[in-house]
Structure 1
Amino acid sequence: MGRSVRLKSFELVARDIREVDVKLLHALSLAVGWPHRPKDWDFLRRAGQGIVAVDGIGRVFGSAMWFPHGRKFATIGLVLTSPRTQAQGTGRWLMEQVFERCGNRNLTLNSTDAAYHLYLSLGFMKEAVVYLWQGEVASSLPAVPVLDGELMSPSAEDLKEIAALDERAFGTSRQKLLALLSEGASICTLSRGGEIVGYSMKREFGRGHVIGPIVASNDCDAIHLTAVHLKELTGRFARVDTREQTGLFADYLQQSRLGISETVTTMSKGKRFLNRKENEPWVYGLAGHAVS
């Protein structure tokens, strides 16, 4: 599909997202009710690649980003279209541009309800639901299970071990993304027998803080890796994006006064993305549903 698209009364062209003033990207996300701040957009532009749909005088009417992890896989996010163009095919045009640039990579994304049927028509298949738990953290947190292992702040040398654990849980290496996340995040690891078996990150995002990624092999470990950050956020706004709706981990989030604000749907095109195995590392908390 071409690098430009004509709508009812004007033409849009694709430009590299790095060439656009971040204030225009912030205005776009505000227009659709997304919480991304200018600094969140700046981080995402460092982490991935993207395009924007602009008119002849530089106004931004849409965006789409992709985050390559090697030559065979990429996640897609920040596919936004302004309310003015949502029914005029801009989203489909943006996705065609993404397909062209991603080549033969397997793809995954987390779809809003509004975009779900578009992605189905583009060949994506539903895999799971992501629950966005968020709210002001309770001033008194619930009890946690007995800790099996040791919670620690990692050293710089531990980041390679964290990346290797994350690759087992996520399915492919995302070392670049983790390195960028670690620059502004508080990180906690869980170790047993001298081996890192889980980790979590907390960073500023949107209205407050997001806790994620959270990687653990069971609910109890995931609770501890989340609780260590929630203790620092009592009375403040926090968010956890997870595929857990029920179970001990979800119960803990609810008892911490977080609630499900909305859901998105994990979808894949090409090779199936999710492959959960019992007692193996699993992504309990996403880095953010835009980057998975």
Structure 2
Amino acid sequence: MPKSVRLKSFELVARDINDVDVSLLHALSLGVGWPHRPKDWDWLRHVGRGIVAVDGIGRVFGSAMWFPYGDDFATVGLVITTPRTQAQGNGRWLMDQVFEHCRGRSLSLNSTQAAYRLYLSLGFTQEATVYQYQGEVGPMIRELPEPNGELTEPSAAPVDEIIALDTRAFGTSRERLLRLLAEVSSIRTMRRDGQLVGFSMCREFGRGHVVGPIVASTDDDALQLTAVHLKDLTGRFARVDTREPGPLTEFLQDSGLELSETVTTMSKGRKFLNRKDNEPWVYGLAGHAVG
């Protein structure tokens, strides 16, 4: 696989994403209207791996990251190309580099509308729609019935239990991601008869806070695990990404969040989403890139 590509009058080479200054990554995401702050980029570089497309004087014209989970799966994200190179094959070349690094792994990503045709042409198939809700949390959060279980903020995050529950919901272990998320997030847990049946995390991101991942066994549990964070964010900017239209999205709208965008979950290799009866499910994403 070529590590460089010539686009009209200039040549780009692939470099490790950790070898460039974070200010260049921040400028790249600003150029396409994405909300990532420098510290968000730094955290994502710590969680996953990636490359950038740079020219001979070090200017960044594109990025792509992947987040390995287990031995045979990864999510892909932060695939960005500058407007100048979007129509010249830069995105396809970046994805070819990802394929080379992720050889033997099934892949999943969340595609913007602009990139959808590219990913179809690369062999990805559509699985679901992600609804991105965001905005200033309203002053009054709808009152919910009493939770069916013990909804608490644990004094010490039960990370091992969270990892085990999340693996059942997500389909493969995200141990490294969850341990790093636990270091920067407020966490709520739901227990029934002493057993962990759900959890949610909330952390600073972009313009405010993102609530996710949200893992629950029922719609009602998911609402409880979302509401408990939104109540702490009244008057502040929050974001929730979900594949679950219905009670959760209705609750988000009631809380002042608006649908700002939809993206498409796609997979290459084995099917990614496989919800099972009476099993926990990922109601809220940790992020578009990490799943």
Q: Which one is further off, 275-284 or 84-93? A: 275-284
Matched, 1:251 2:250: yes
Alignment of 1:38-57 (within 5 A): 38-57=38-57
Aligned partner of 1:289 in structure 2 is 288
Q: Distance in 2 between the 1:155 and 1:70 partners?
A: 29
1:118-267 residue pairs with structure 2 within 5 A? 118-156=118-156, 158-245=158-245, 247-267=246-266
Alpha carbons 2:157, 2:187 under 8 Å: kept? no
Per-residue Cα deviation, 1:124-149 (whole angstroms, up to 9, x for no partner): 00000000011100101111133100
RMSD across aligned C-alpha pairs, in angstroms?
0.9
Match of 2:7 in 1: 7
Aligned length in residues: 291
**Cα distance in structure 2, aligned partners of 1:126 and 1:220:** 28
CA change 1:213–1:157 in 2 (3 A) is: closer
Aligned counterparts of 1:48 and 1:188: Cα–Cα separation in 2? 25
Q: One-letter code of the match for 1:271?
A: R
Output the TM-score relative to the length of structure 1.
0.98
How far is 1:103 from its partner?
1.0
SS of residue paired to 2:88: coil
Fraction of identical pairs, as percent: 72
Runs of 4 or more above 6 Å deviation: none
- CA displacement 1:165-195 (0-9 Å, x = unmatched): 0000000000000011111100010000000
Q: How many Å separate the matches in 1 of 2:228 and 2:50? A: 34
Counterpart AA for 1:36: H
Determine helix, strand or coil for the equivalent of 1:34: coil
Q: C-alpha separation between the residues in 2 aligned to 1:9 and 1:277?
A: 52
In 2, the alpha carbon distance for the partners of 1:155 and 1:282 equals: 24
Q: Per the alignment, do residues 260 and 172 of structure 1 end up closer, same or farther by CA in structure 2, a change over 3 Å counting?
A: same
Q: Within 1, Cα distance between the matches of 2:257 and 2:277?
A: 26
Q: Which runs of 5+ in 1 are unaligned?
A: none
Offset, 1:280: 1.4
Consecutive unaligned residues in structure 2, runs of 5 or more: none
Query: Helix, strand or coil: the match of 2:87?
Result: coil
